[in-house]
């Protein structure tokens, strides 16, 4: 029997207009955007729908915005495909918070507020240090780690075969890109980001996030939720908090997380939230797995149709 995992989008997937057609077509979606505005005390929906891009890209807006659109996609899919069953969740970086919320660990409002705080803490860390990130394409993990050690940067994301992300001081990232190309990388592309996420330059955000998480009541997850830091399921309450704090500076082991789920017999993966980055990673990790997504009204209809027909591709 097919086992389904839900995957939740991470930062970088934001785009002006995200969630707008869902809110316009589905009253329950509009209600969620209204709840979010009330919980946060400002019009996050307007930032998602209208931007401007510079405002949406701010970490303190992008993170709760992606959380909100991803959560809305999840709720709408449950409405449109009432027989949906899932046996695990995972999320890329901030998406791990959405994954935990989907598994009942925290409430929608608490998850939204703590992600907004996380974004603000990380924005403050970005402003305190001139950092950057780059995508290393076509170089394996071992030589990439050697490049990182030589350049003094860190391996931030292990997304899928052939795509790794490095993070660190901006000048060192530039040097690391040149080293990576010299070692055989097909491409080494600096990313347009506010700072050096998942590196030691984010350390100042950790004690603030720890305090924010301590104020939130948590439940144990109703299904396994895969931790970015370990590529294994979360266990105790204390471990959930510790891994979320650690995640701010640690590598995101996304490929390892997906391979764990594949080894557990998962064959269907549904990406929820703006963009299709996780679906793209999935195709690079295992082409035989069924990869679906919900980012807007059209993809919602298509995914619901597959689920309601009981189709395995």
Please identify every residue annotated as catalytic: 93, 198
Using CA atoms, how far apart are residues 214 and 57, in angstroms rounded to an integer?
A: 27
Residue 91 CA from chain centroid, whole number: 5
**In contact, 24 and 289? CB cutoff 8 Å:** no
- Residue 78: enclosing H or E segment and its boundaries? helix 59-80
Query: With DSSP H G I counted as helix, E B as strand and the rest as coil, what are the percentages for the chain, rounded to 5?
Result: 55, 15, 30
Q: How many other C-beta atoms lie within 10 A of the C-beta of residue 159?
A: 23
Using CA atoms, how far apart are residues 94 and 15, in angstroms rounded to an integer?
A: 16
For residue 4, give the 3-state DSSP assignment: strand
Of the candidates 303, 280, 282, the one whose C-alpha atom is nearest the C-alpha of residue 76 is 303
Of the candidates 264, 183, 203, 207, the one whose C-alpha atom is nearest the C-alpha of residue 231 is 264
For residue 259, give the 3-state DSSP assignment: helix
Contacts 24+ apart (CB under 8 A), 289-295: 289/262, 290/2, 292/268, 294/73, 294/74, 294/76, 294/77, 294/270, 295/18, 295/69, 295/73, 295/271
């Amino acid at each position: 029997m097919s086992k389904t995992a839900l995957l939740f989008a991470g930062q970088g997937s934001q785009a002006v207009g995200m969630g707008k057609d869902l809110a316009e077509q589905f009253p329950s979606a509009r209600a969620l955007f209204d709840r979010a505005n009330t919980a946060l005390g400002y019009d996050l929906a307007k930032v998602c729908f209208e931007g401007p891009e510079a405002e949406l890209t701010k970490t303190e807006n992008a993170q709760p915005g992606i959380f909100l659109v991803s959560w809305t996609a999840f709720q709408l899919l449950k409405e449109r495909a009432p027989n949906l069953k899932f046996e695990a969740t995972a999320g890329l970086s901030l998406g791990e918070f959405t994954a935990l919320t989907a598994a009942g660990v925290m409430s929608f409002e608490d998850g939204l507020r703590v992600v907004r705080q996380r974004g603000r803490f990380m924005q403050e860390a970005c402003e305190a240090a001139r950092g950057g990130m780059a995508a290393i394409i076509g170089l394996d993990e071992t030589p990439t780690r050697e490049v990182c050690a030589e350049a003094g940067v860190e391996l931030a994301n292990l997304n899928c075969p052939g795509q790794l992300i490095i993070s660190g001081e901006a000048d060192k990232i530039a040097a690391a890109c040149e080293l990576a190309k010299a070692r055989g990388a097909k491409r080494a592309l600096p990313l347009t980001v506010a700072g050096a996420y998942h590196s030691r330059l984010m350390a100042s955000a950790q004690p603030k996030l720890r305090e924010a998480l301590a104020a939130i009541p948590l439940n144990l997850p109703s299904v396994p939720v895969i931790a970015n830091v370990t590529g294994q399921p979360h266990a105790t309450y204390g471990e959930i908090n510790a891994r979320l704090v650690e995640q701010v500076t640690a590598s995101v082991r996304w490929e390892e997380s997906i391979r764990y789920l594949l080894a557990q017999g998962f064959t269907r993966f549904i990406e929820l939230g703006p963009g299709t980055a996780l679906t793209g990673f999935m195709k690079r990790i295992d082409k035989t797995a069924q990869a679906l997504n919900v980012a807007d009204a059209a993809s919602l209809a298509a995914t619901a149709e597959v689920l309601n027909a009981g189709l395995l591709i």
